[in-house]
Amino acid sequence: MIAQELLKRHLNERIDHELVLKNKIKSIDYGDFVEYFDENGNVIYEKLKSWVNARVYSYDYNEEGKIKSRFSFDEGSTDTVRFEKYVYNDGILSEIKIFDTLFTGSTKYKYYKSGNIKGISNPNFYENYTYNNNGDIVNAVMKPKGEYLANSSKYKWKGIYNERNLLVKEIQTHDRKYVVTWLYQYDDDGNLLQCKNDRREHRKQVNIIKYEFNGKGLPVKRSYFDADNSLVKEQIIKYEFY
């Protein structure tokens, strides 16, 4: 879901573009995933190291600095696994055409007059979004369609924000049966310190994630704990600068 992609940036799972540009970051190594940036802060290359053969994503940009295309392939191979072509209408993304070894189709975007994304559709899913007055997503719904209709459930997402416009509560509902709630805590600078969910059915699942930042406001460490507050894993984040 696009909502989840936006939240990854917001919750420091991936570093915000403005921080990349401000700190002149050349690369970020999350341990199992690496991002490389040009001097304008645009991601140009990504490597997902958790695959058997590292999955690589390569980006091209148009003259306006918008993504023109993205290739993905397995490291060490010359075969493209997936090619995505980005189509714009008056400078606004309207469609991503996808050419995959297993799938060929497109993802289409609709917008509100404000410019916020209203809906996203592809052959398998439809997603729609509503926002608050600050432009933050407050509700998102994903509905399966086509061949996915029989095996996938409807998904709802709800976000609650505080007076500083920071996400403090996230509610995920799967087909009205399975509900997960995440709670978020921040420091005085707005950096995320901790997120915690209410899952208890599997004691060893990650229930708490704690974050540490350096003096530049960049996350440098994440610690993952289960429901018994036992450490599951630690992630050290490394940076390279221009």
Residue 202 — pLDDT band, cuts 50, 70, 90? low
Q: Write down the mean pLDDT value for the chain.
A: 85
pLDDT (tens digit per residue) in 208-241: 899 999 988 899 999 999 888 889 889 999 999 9
pLDDT at 161: 94
Which segment of 5-9, 27-31, 193-197, 222-226 scores lowest on mean pLDDT? 5-9
Is the model more confident about 156 or about 9? 156
Is the model more confident about 204 or about 163? 163
What whole-number percentage of the chain has pLDDT above 90? 48
Give the DSSP letter string of the chain. Answer: -HHHHHHHHHTTSS--HHHHHHTTEEEEE-SSEEEEE-TTS-EEEEEETTSSS-EEEEEEE-TTS-EEEEEEEETT--SEEEEEEEEEETTEEEEEEEEESS-EEEEEEEE-TTS-EEEEE-SSEEEEEEE-TTS-EEEEEEEE-GGGTTT---EEEEEEE-TTS-EEEEEEEETTTEEEEEEEEE-TTS-EEEEEE---SSTTSEEEEEEEE-TTS-EEEEEEEETT--EEEEEE-EEEE-
Say if residue 140's pLDDT is above 60. Answer: yes
pTM value?
0.83
